[in-house]
Amino acid sequence: MGEIDKLLEIIQNISSGQYSNDIMFLTGPETAEPIRTIAEAMGLMMVKVEAREYHLETLISELKTLNEKVRANTIKTVSTMANALAARDPYTQGHTERVGNLAGQIARTMGLEAGDIEYIRLGGLLHDIGKIGFPDYLFMPHEAKNPPEIVRRIIKHPTVGAEILQDLDFLGPAIEYVRSHHERPDGKGYPRRLKDADIPLGAKIIAVADSYDAMTTERPYQKAKSIDAALEIFQSHAGKQWDTECVEALRRYLAEQSQPA
Ligand SMILES: [Fe+2]
């Protein structure tokens, strides 16, 4: 093969991304001009391109790490908001975290993928963030019926929550789960009275996790129910207040938990 053909072949290889040191064989004194000058120039270009590619790869990996940090910090900030909200109500201490975790476990039991499970866990963690503007009065034990203005605010808390979170892109579908966590399969939920098929699965799962936690923890107006008592309530309202498959997944998860390890 002549030097010019060899040079062309090497240039073609470089242009298709195959960098090798073959070009150096054409830079010695035995190579005729102008092939040698071209080969030297090509060699230099190749080194520069390789260095730039390496620099770009490093930048991309730094960006990925930074992006992950921003995401983790934002989740922390939003969780802090959720915890600050929970701190106003001593009876619901840990509620948001438990609902997030349980919702994630129900989703896992239903065979959902890791990415979907994480959105559902986040939705569970943030489901009541819209209560942040509630007056303190609502967080204290009270007997009297809530005045209509307060009832309107209670009904709006899923919408307010979704509005608070709407610009946090990384929450993805979790924002809709927050908006729909009080909807019911029988269409009697709020705020939109959605029909069964229109309620996102994540919201149905969070609804089950939220109610289960409320039933099984001590509240000013109720004693904590046993797991069996709670399951009985779920089963008798499955398909109406709660989604049947989500209730079934909760039952399976709790059974799995009660098995000796
Ligand atoms: Fe709620």
What confidence tens digit (pLDDT) does each residue in 226-246 have?
Answer: 999 999 999 999 999 999 999
CB-based contact 46:19 (threshold 8 Å): yes
Closest CA to 93 of 103, 102, 83: 83
Chain centroid to Cα 119, Å, comes to 3
CA angle 119, 188, 102 (to 5 degrees): 30
CB-based contact 46:14 (threshold 8 Å): yes
User: What is d(CA 180, CA 5) in angstroms, rounded to the nearest whole number?
Assistant: 68
For residue 108, how far is its CA from the centre of ligand 1 (angstroms)?
A: 22
**DSSP string for 90-159:** GGGTTHHHHHHHHHHHHHHHTT--HHHHHHHHHHHHHTTGGGGGS-GGGGS---SPPPHHHHHHHHHHHH
User: What is d(CA 82, CA 100) in angstroms, rounded to the nearest whole number?
Assistant: 11
Poorest-pLDDT segment among 27-41, 141-155, 176-190, 210-224: 141-155
For residue 207, how far is its CA from the centre of ligand 1 (angstroms)?
A: 8
For residue 182, how far is its CA from the centre of ligand 1 (angstroms)?
A: 6
Domains in the chain (CATH in brackets) are 3-51 (no CATH), 88-258 (1.10.3210.10)
Whole-model pTM: value is 0.76
- pLDDT tens-digit readout, 16-66: 888 778 888 888 888 888 888 988 998 888 889 889 999 999 999 999 999
Compute CA distances 187 → 27, 161, 241, whole Å: 79, 21, 9
For residue 209, how far is its CA from the centre of ligand 1 (angstroms)?
A: 11
